Structures are given as C-alpha cells and as structure tokens.
Structure 1
C-alpha cells in the first residue's frame, strides 16, 4: 500500500513542498509513497511550483484506519487530516511544538527547533546520501524563504541560513530576487474574500480548556486589508460561533517592515493585551517586531492565558 504524505490543513509553502520532497526521498529509498495536500494551494506556493515546474499534489479529504501515512510540518491532530487518529503513522518530520499527539505503535519522529521543515529534510537527504535535484532544491529553499520571511523572522536559525544558501547554489538562483518575488506573489489581498483571508493560513491550538484560532496573512500593505475590517469581523464572528473558539486572532504581517497588526475577537480577546503589552483599540493593535506565529504569537498567548485565567 502506498504511503500517504501530507502536511497540515490550510497548507502553506513549507507544508506543500515538504510533502513533495519527502515523497520523492521515500521513493528513492525504495518505498511506495505519494504526496498529498489537505487544502488549496496559495498563490505564494503556486509561484514556487510553477517556477520549478513541479505539479501540485492531489487533494486528500480524510484518512482511515486502512491508511499508512507520514506527516510533515505538523503533528497536532486537530491540524491534520480528518480520521488521523485511526491511521497508521510511520513518521513525523516537523519543526513545531509537540502537542495532542499519540500513536498505538512506535514511529520515526523528528522535530527540530529550526525555522522550517525543509531544513530538516535537507539533512535527511544528506544523511541518506540521496542527490538533491535542482527542482527539489528549489522547493526546499522556497519553503525556507516562506517560513523565515527571507531570513528575517526570529524563527530563523543558523541551520536555516546555511541550508538556504546551499540550496540556492544547487538551484542556481538569486535568492534576493527570487525570494522577494515569491513573497510578493502571496501578499496581494485585494482579490481574496474575507473567508479566504481568515482561513488561508489558520491553525487551531488547544490551550488548556480553551480553543484558540490563529490566522496569519502576509502583506505589503496592512492598511489595504484593514480597510475591510468590518467584513473581516463579520466572518470571524461567524467562525467563532460555529466552532466555539474562545479566541480568534488574525495576525496581519508586513513582510517588508517586519511588523504585524492584530485583530482579536472572542470571549477572551482581551488576553492579547496581556500577551503583547498593548492596548487594543476597537479590537486591534500594532505588534512591533512580531512576525512569527510559532515563536512569538502562540507562546505569548499561552503565557498570558496561564497568568490571567489559571
């Protein structure tokens, strides 16, 4: 039976490309594996796939106890494919926190504190003496550019930077030129619906007994998006009511200035003030220097909840 490899729901560039890259590695190591995606391909990712002439993976809606899978770029079950609890998980390759995860059998689990899953995958290629083609190098460097905002994010490590430059040599590209064009390709919001904006890159986190939804949108013009604030509030409120979120946070990140503006709604929206030492004005605030959901937003909100409500 073919191994199904996929990343998290609402896939970003790291999730899509890491699934493709790991499937190729497994195939070269003699396993029958195929990459999948759990959602639509965003414009940034589409730019990278087109540039390196690689097809997007087939969509996967759910898995069952008959499926054997490998997970990339996530491990929390609520972010994974419906039915993941019943599937046989052979491996996890990730760079996030480990939470809400357990299996009935041993597995290969590799989660490293780096800025991108692709950084870990490049190591695994080298450890297995498997050649990295130009196409695979291009996919991995695209993931690193995306997750580290071209090495500007605080999640960036020396390993990410070293890996990015090595991959750029293999792919034979100008990092600055390609990186900025790729990021800009995904930064336009004018043609997206409010629903697409709040769900395009959103993850649910269980923080104690609270359900927290954190969406992030990368832009080059924050004001352009916040001109649609009333529309965004309306659709976020519907999401809160439908899914019983205690907090819904939309983080709008300016990729050129490395700052964000947050929109917080829900019963516990005030926790954002404690988390970032800001005052919300009409449920919004500027978060200077905040660009990383993984390293800056999630940990700060968790700590604020612990101090305010426990």
Structure 2
C-alpha cells in the first residue's frame, strides 16, 4: 500500500507543492509514496503546475483506516484530511506551530521556524545528496515565493532565500519575473462568490474557548474585495451559523502595499480589539505591514484569548 503524502484542507501552493515534492523525495529513496490533496487547486497553484507541466495530486477527501499518511505543511487536527484518526500517521514535515495533535506512538517529525515547508523539503533533498529534478525544483520555488510573498513576509528567513535562489537556477527561471507572474495569476477574486472569498485559503483555529476561521486572499488592489464587504460578511454569518464558528476573519492582503485589511464577523470583537489594539466595533480594521497569518495574526489572537 502506497504511503499518502498530503497537505491541509483548503490547500495553498505550499501544501500542494510540498506534497508532490516530498512524495518525489520518498520515491527517490526507494519508498512507495503518492501525493494526494484534500481540497481544490487555487489559481496560483494551478499556474505553477501548468508552468512546470506537473499533474495535480489525486483528490481524496478521506483516508481509509490503516492507511499510512505523511502530513506536510500542517499538523493541527482541524486542518487534516478526514479519517486521519483511524489511519496511521507516520511523519510530519511542517513549519507551523503545534496545535494539539495526538499520535498512538512516536513518529518522525521535522519542523523548522522557516517561511515555507518546501524550504525544508528542498534542504532534505540536498542533505541526502539527491538531485532535485527541474520540475520539482520549480514547484518548491513556487511554494517559497508564495508563502514568503517574494521575500516580503516577516516569516521569510535566510534559509528560505538561499533555497529559492538555488531552486531558481535548477528550474531555469528568472526568480523575480516568475514569482510576480505566479502571484498575479493567483491574485484577485476572479469569479469567486462572496462565500468562496470568505473561505479562501482558510484554516480553523481555537482561540481559548472560541472557534475561529482565519482566511486569506492576496490581491494587487484591495478595493475589488472591500467593495464586496457587505456580501462577504453576510456570507460569513451564514458560515458561522452552519459550521459553528464564533468568529470568521478574512485577511485581504495587498501584495504591493504590504498591508492587510482584516474583515471579520462574529464574537467576541473584543478579541480582535485586544489583539490588534484597534477599535473593532465595525467589521474591518487596517493592519499596515501585516502579511503573515502565522506570525502576525494568530499569535496576537492567541495571546489576547489567554486574557479572557
């Protein structure tokens, strides 16, 4: 039985590219591994897959009991593929905080405080003296450029930068030219409905006793999203009612201006006010310099929740 390598629900570029690349590394090491996905491919990721002529992983919304699974780019239960509790989790490769995952026994875990899981995987290839194929290098590069927003995110480290430069050489692309084209391909709302916008690249979190969903959409012009704010917050209300969230937040991140408008619905708004030291009585606050959910949104919310 092949080992499944899978990223999180509502996958982003790192989640998909890390799954494909880590499965390729396992195969190069003589192991039977298959990349799968538990969500739809977004436009940015599809651009990368098309550019480097790589097929998307198999869509599998659930794993069967006993199936061996490797998680990449996540470790929290709420973000994991359905059925994982009855499967056999054997590895985690990630760059996020740990969120209460329990395992039946000891497993291999590789986490680093870097800007992208694909940075870790690229270095695993090099540490094992395994050549990275051109197409896999392209996907790894795409993930790093996406997660670090072309080095602009505060999550970006020297290790991400060094890996990206080496991968661009292997992939035979101009790093900045390719990254901007990829980011532009994924930016904007396109034909998304308000509900789809509200759940773009979404991840569930628990802040104290509050169940929250934090989404993020990257754009070149925030007006195209903010002009739909009333419809988006109405969709957020519907999601809260149907899925049991106390609070939904959408990061509308401006790639050019390097800032975020945080649109939100639910309670307690005091959690947002305390976390970001702003008046949160409305449904949106502006956060200059904020681009990272992992480093600039989740930590202050977690800290604020601890005071409730």
Q: TM-score, normalised by structure 1?
A: 0.97
Q: Distance in 1 between matches of 2:104 and 2:207?
A: 24
**Structure 1: tracts of 5 or more residues without a match:** none
CA contact (8 A) 1:262 1:285 kept: yes
Q: Distance in 2 between matches of 1:112 and 1:34?
A: 23
Any idea what SS the aligned residue of 1:304 has?
Answer: helix
- Pairs within 5 Å for 1:1-310: 1-280=1-280, 282-307=282-307, 309=308
Asked if the contact 1:21–1:139 (Cα under 8 Å) also holds between the matched residues in 2, the reply is yes
* Range with greater deviation from structure 2 (112-121 or 170-179): 170-179
Give the match's secondary structure for 2:231.
helix
Partners in 2 of 1:64 and 1:217 — Cα distance? 32
- Is the contact between residue 248 and residue 269 of structure 1 (CA under 8 Å) also seen in structure 2? no
Shift of 1:281: 5.8
Partners of 1:302 and 1:279 in 2: CA distance = 18
Q: Are 1:79 and 1:204, in contact at CA under 8 Å, matched by a contact in 2?
A: yes
2:118, 2:269 → 1: CA distance? 34
Moved more, 28-37 or 199-208: 199-208
Larger displacement relative to structure 2 (143-152 or 104-113):
104-113
Aligned residues, how many? 308
Partners of 2:233 and 2:264 within 8 A in 1: no
Deviation at 1:208, TM superposition (A): 2.6
Q: State the shift of 1:91 in Å.
A: 0.6
CA drift at 1:127: 1.7
* Matched position secondary structure for 2:84: coil
Q: Distance in 2 between matches of 1:244 and 1:269?
A: 17
Contact 2:188 2:217 in 1 (8 A): no
* CA deviation string 1:171-210 (max 9, x = no partner): 1111111111100101121421112212220000122322
Instruction: Decide whether the 8 Å contact of 2:115 with 2:148 is kept in 1.
Output: yes
- Report how far residue 131 of structure 1 moved: 0.7
1:282 is displaced (CA, Å) by 2.6
Distance 1:120 1:227 in 2: 39
Equivalent-residue separation in structure 2 for 1:117 and 1:181 (angstroms): 21
CA contact under 8 A between 1:218 and 1:255: conserved in structure 2?
Answer: yes
Deviates more, 1:262-271 or 1:221-230: 262-271
- Once residues 83 and 207 of structure 1 are traced to their aligned partners in structure 2, the CA distance between those partners, rounded to angstroms, is 24
Distance 1:137 1:270 in 2: 44
The TM-score, its normalising length taken from structure 2, stands at 0.98
For 1:156, what is the secondary structure of its paired residue?
A: coil
Question: Aligned partners of 1:257 and 1:267: how far apart in 2?
Answer: 29
Give SS of 2:269's match. coil
Aligned structure 1 segments of 4 or more residues deviating by more than 2 angstroms: none
TM-superposed deviation, 1:242:
1.4
Considering only aligned residues, what root-mean-square deviation do their CA atoms show, in Å? 1.0
